[in-house]
């Protein structure tokens, strides 16, 4: 209850605030006060996951990679006692970078999961802007898509108009798996049945689905998600990101902070090649030859088209290793970290008290090579 004490919600991310960044409404997807409750591309299923990243998110990313399934993550900044998502002593920054590099979409679920219909306009602004700054500190940009906690943004509160002024699309869903009620091996079948019944009621030639789940729940990650992926494939649907299921170009999913100086040395991968003596940091997003993406606000990797960015197009096959990162150190398994025991080791013996050991680097490099062979 943020009005009655000092909570983690009162903490602020590092760096400059985002309040002065322009927020034009671009593209054809409606912005707030309209609420988006369904997809528009037939035959698609947009799996979305709220409340993470969590100790289970690494496992979920592994599973999605196995099925080559894009998804969307509605990220919270500091809820559930997990610490701030831009704290480099924790796994969260690298997990969020891994989401981007794997082709998933990152969206906002506010800073500390407050009910936006019950807080003041000032508090509502802080909930969005603090999450923006934290994500900017990781990605160099922040999302234009958000989902209100508890799906609560009531008209009487002024919430919807406020979010429109802040340049957001409000996203709800048309399949609620109710996984938060069923996070137990004996109950999760209820969520599977909800999903199966919904998909079976439609025709993939004419119907699409927007699904809500939560990567903070173990049964969602270790049980329900694989079932959903198998069911949608069997019934003729394909998994996509939220933006793709709405036909929204990826350039519209984020707002870039042109003043962002790039991630500091402490945040950068340790396998960074040396910058050539004549190279300068890219000032316009182009890279190669005399310009490097290292330290630029446009992205970490220099793609084959000589443009900086953070997607697999930039960081995967064709990545120019002399002008940007071609690998990111990321925790392979977020379940190996427990906020109550920061030095807990995974079964493989990797210590997650400090993210990005040599073993993790080697493992991720092997994954990237395998993925792009």
Based on the residue annotation, tell me whether 351 is a catalytic residue of this protein. no
User: How much is the pLDDT for 300?
Assistant: 76
User: How much is the pLDDT for 360?
Assistant: 38
Torsion, Cα 107 220 154 198, to 10 degrees, reads 110
CB 286 within 8 A of CB 276: no
User: How much is the pLDDT for 260?
Assistant: 82
User: How much is the pLDDT for 310?
Assistant: 72
**Percent with pLDDT over 90 in the chain:** 63
Separation of alpha carbons 260 and 94, rounded Å? 18
Lowest mean pLDDT segment, chosen from 138-142, 293-297, 342-346:
342-346
User: How much is the pLDDT for 358?
Assistant: 36
| Mean pLDDT of all residues in 63-90 | 94
3-class state of residue 220 by DSSP: helix
Evaluate if residue 28 carries a pLDDT over 70: yes
* 158-178 tens-digit pLDDT: 999 999 999 999 999 999 999
Summary mean pLDDT of the chain: 84
- The active-site residue, picked from 169, 214, 314, 332, is 214
* 173-210 tens-digit pLDDT: 999 999 999 999 999 999 999 999 999 999 999 999 99
Evaluate if residue 86 carries a pLDDT over 90: yes
Evaluate if residue 342 carries a pLDDT over 80: no
User: How much is the pLDDT for 333?
Assistant: 37
Evaluate if residue 369 carries a pLDDT over 80: no
Cα separations (Å) of 26 from 72, 144, 181, 333, 362? 20, 10, 37, 36, 40
Local confidence band at 11 (pLDDT 50, 70, 90 cut-offs): confident
CB 238 within 8 A of CB 70: no
**Percent with pLDDT over 70 in the chain:** 81
Separation of alpha carbons 36 and 159, rounded Å? 15
Is pTM, for the whole model, over 0.95? no
The fold adopted by the segment(s) 8-252 is TIM Barrel (3.20.20)
User: How much is the pLDDT for 38?
Assistant: 98
| Domain ranges in the chain with CATH number 3.20.20.370 | 8-252
CA 195 to chain CA mean position, Å: 23
Strands 141-143 vs 254-256: parallel, antiparallel or unpaired: antiparallel
Based on the residue annotation, tell me whether 214 is a catalytic residue of this protein. yes
Lowest mean pLDDT segment, chosen from 5-14, 77-86, 107-116, 129-138:
5-14
User: 57-60, long-range: CB within 8 Å, 24+ apart, which pairs?
Assistant: 57/95, 57/215, 57/221, 57/334, 58/91, 58/95, 58/331, 58/332, 58/333, 58/334, 58/335, 58/336, 59/221, 59/222, 59/333, 59/334, 59/335, 60/215, 60/221, 60/225
Local confidence band at 271 (pLDDT 50, 70, 90 cut-offs): very low
Evaluate if residue 97 carries a pLDDT over 70: yes
Local confidence band at 312 (pLDDT 50, 70, 90 cut-offs): low
The 8-class DSSP code of residue 351 comes to B
């Amino acid at each position: 209850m943020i009005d009655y004490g000092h909570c983690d919600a009162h903490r602020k991310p590092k760096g400059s605030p985002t309040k002065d960044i322009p927020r034009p409404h671009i593209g054809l997807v409606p912005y707030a006060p309209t609420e988006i409750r369904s997809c528009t591309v037939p035959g698609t299923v947009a799996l979305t996951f709220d409340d993470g990243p969590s100790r289970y998110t690494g496992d979920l990313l592994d599973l999605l990679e196995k099925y080559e399934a894009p998804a969307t993550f509605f990220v919270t900044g500091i809820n559930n006692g997990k610490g701030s998502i831009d704290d480099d002593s924790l796994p969260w920054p690298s997990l969020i970078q891994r989401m981007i590099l794997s082709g998933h979409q990152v969206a906002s679920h506010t800073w500390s999961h407050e009910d936006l219909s019950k807080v003041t306009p000032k508090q509502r602004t802080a909930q969005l802007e603090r999450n923006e700054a934290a994500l900017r500190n990781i990605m160099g940009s922040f999302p234009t898509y958000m989902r209100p906690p508890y799906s609560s943004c009531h008209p009487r509160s002024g919430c919807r108009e406020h979010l429109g002024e802040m340049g957001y699309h409000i996203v709800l869903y048309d399949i609620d798996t109710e996984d938060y009620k069923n996070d137990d091996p004996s109950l999760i079948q209820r969520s599977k049945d909800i999903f199966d019944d919904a998909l079976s009621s439609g025709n993939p030639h004419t119907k699409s689905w927007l699904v809500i789940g939560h990567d903070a729940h173990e049964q969602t990650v270790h049980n329900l998600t694989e079932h959903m992926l198998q069911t949608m494939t069997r019934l003729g649907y394909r998994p996509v990101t939220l933006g793709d299921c709405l036909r929204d170009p990826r350039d519209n999913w984020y707002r870039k902070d042109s003043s962002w100086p790039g991630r500091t040395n402490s945040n950068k991968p340790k396998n960074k090649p040396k910058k050539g003596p004549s190279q300068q940091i890219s000032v316009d997003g182009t890279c190669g030859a005399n310009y490097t993406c290292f330290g630029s606000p446009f992205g970490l990797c220099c793609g084959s088209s000589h443009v900086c960015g953070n997607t697999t197009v930039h960081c995967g096959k064709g990545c120019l290793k002399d002008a940007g990162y071609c690998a990111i150190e990321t925790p392979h398994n977020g379940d190996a970290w427990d906020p109550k025991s920061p030095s807990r080791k995974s079964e493989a013996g990797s210590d997650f008290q400090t993210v990005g050991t040599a073993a993790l680097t080697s493992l991720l490099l092997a994954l990237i090579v395998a993925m792009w062979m």
